[in-house]
Amino acid sequence: MPDTGILRRRAAALSAAALLAVAACGEALAYKRTKNPKRKKRPAAAAEAGPAKPVGPPPLLAGGRWDPAVRGSIEEFIRAAGKDSPDHDPNDPPAAVFALNEVVIPNDLGEVVFQKMVLSSSTAPGFDFKMDEDFWRILPAAFGQARLYFDYQQLLAMPVSVWPDQPGLRRMRKGFVRMYRDFCARRGRKECRALLARLFRGFTEDEAVGYAKDVIEAELARPVGYAFLEEKDSDPAPEKIRMGLQPAPEMEDLMRVLAKEGFDVWIISEDAQVEVRQLAKHFGLPPERGIGIKAAVSTSTSLMTDEIEPPFPFRSGKVEAVSSIVGKPPAIAVAGQAEDAPLLSYGEGLRLLMDSGDESLRRVAVDRGWLIQPAFPP
């Protein structure tokens, strides 16, 4: 019979051997687990190759405040119709036509110039109009013309040096703006825009061009803001006017890109043509690319008259002006006012509505498939 002591010693030896085997397996497993993190470093090695290259052509427009989908559609159209298109003819490039007020600039060019004529004078502390007897006949009689004329005659009886201290001067300045606004409210935008253009009566064309240039340069340097015209201090009903011309950078960028990509870029507005052409130069366009209201010039005096030459660029008149001056429908039309619906409807191509909140115009845009971009505030 085997010695029980020997058996116990053998069992103990086997148990110790088993424990050593288990410990060895544990160490082997631990060793393998330390190797696993090295396998996980493979994605980092892929990242060292740099970010993935973008798919497709680089953007044409600066991002700015564009709706990304609108921006993408504009860029797609530019590539399809611009200088790199097989159908592009550099001798007959596609036209891009921009309405001006509240689209390219968040203000009204004609009103800014008019207010400057009312508020300052290059020769005396009065007004910048040519205020002879013919000038007063331009003003609408039913909207305060008689009171303005009376106040002016009172000022003429005084030395110019004392004008700034006279209540009649403040009353006239406020009265001119109120007359214009009341006239517009009663007679409509077309007639009130013609009135603004007629206020250059008596200027030579060179004088009008120089005046518009000086005003535009000064107002481009001024942020868009507000001022109040008062008859007296603490006037309970002052006239609030908007000053400054700050083009939307996105619109400036779009015009620059279009010109670079082979489009013939135009600006059209129901402002005096001498003003529109000076602003066109600011955008790097030839001045003749600005279309506005053109006052006739007297052949006998070489002075601008109060007669307006056709076409008058308002509503369907903008279509007539584009047809006769540009010579073809625009491939791209950009506008934002209800009065510009005929321009946006003229021809085919890309139509961009700068939406200022006119619901009826927005519905038209949706029905006709125009692009809609929220207007760019100052």
Whether 58 is in a domain gets the answer no
> Do 321 and 363 share a structural domain?
yes
> Do 289 and 231 share a structural domain?
no
> Do 188 and 267 share a structural domain?
no
> Do 256 and 232 share a structural domain?
no
Sorting pLDDT into bands at 50, 70 and 90, what band is 30?
A: very low
CATH of the domain at 274: 3.40.50.1000
Confidence (pTM)? 0.84
Helices (H) and strands (E) in the chain, counts: 14, 9
Query: SS3 of 86, please?
Result: coil
Whether 36 is in a domain gets the answer no
Least trusted range by pLDDT, from 48-52, 68-72, 166-170, 338-342: 48-52
φ and ψ at 360, to 5 degrees? Answer: -65, -40
CATH of the domain at 158: 1.20.1440
> Do 180 and 151 share a structural domain?
yes
Least trusted range by pLDDT, from 154-163, 195-204, 243-252, 289-298: 154-163
Whether 17 is in a domain gets the answer no
List all residues 6 or more positions away from 226 whose beta carbon is below 8 Å from its beta carbon. 240, 241, 242, 243
Domain final residue pick, 214, 243, 272: 243
79-119 residue pLDDT tens = 999 999 999 999 999 999 999 999 999 999 999 999 999 99
> Do 102 and 251 share a structural domain?
yes
Domain final residue pick, 224, 243, 262: 243
Higher pLDDT, 126 or 178: 178
C-alpha closest to that of 362 among 324, 343, 336, 329: 336
C-alpha closest to that of 114 among 198, 227, 210: 198
List all residues 6 or more positions away from 98 whose beta carbon is below 8 Å from its beta carbon. 104, 251, 255, 265, 266, 267, 268, 334, 335
> Do 340 and 281 share a structural domain?
yes
Whether 320 is in a domain gets the answer yes
Whether 2 is in a domain gets the answer no
DSSP symbols for 142-167: GGTHHHHHHHHHHHHTS-GGGGGG-H
Give the pLDDT score at 316. Answer: 97
Domain of residue 284, residue span: 68-106+247-374
- Residue 43 reports pLDDT greater than 70: no
φ and ψ at 357, to 5 degrees? Answer: 110, 5
Give the pLDDT score at 42. Answer: 54
> Do 213 and 145 share a structural domain?
yes
The domain total for the chain is 2
> Do 341 and 257 share a structural domain?
yes
> Do 173 and 282 share a structural domain?
no
Domain final residue pick, 243, 271, 303: 243
> Do 355 and 278 share a structural domain?
yes
Whether 29 is in a domain gets the answer no
> Distance between CA 258 and CA 247 in Å, rounded?
17
* CA 52-53-57 angle, 5° bins: 150
Whether 5 is in a domain gets the answer no
Give the pLDDT score at 1. Answer: 47
> Do 238 and 114 share a structural domain?
yes
Whether 126 is in a domain gets the answer yes
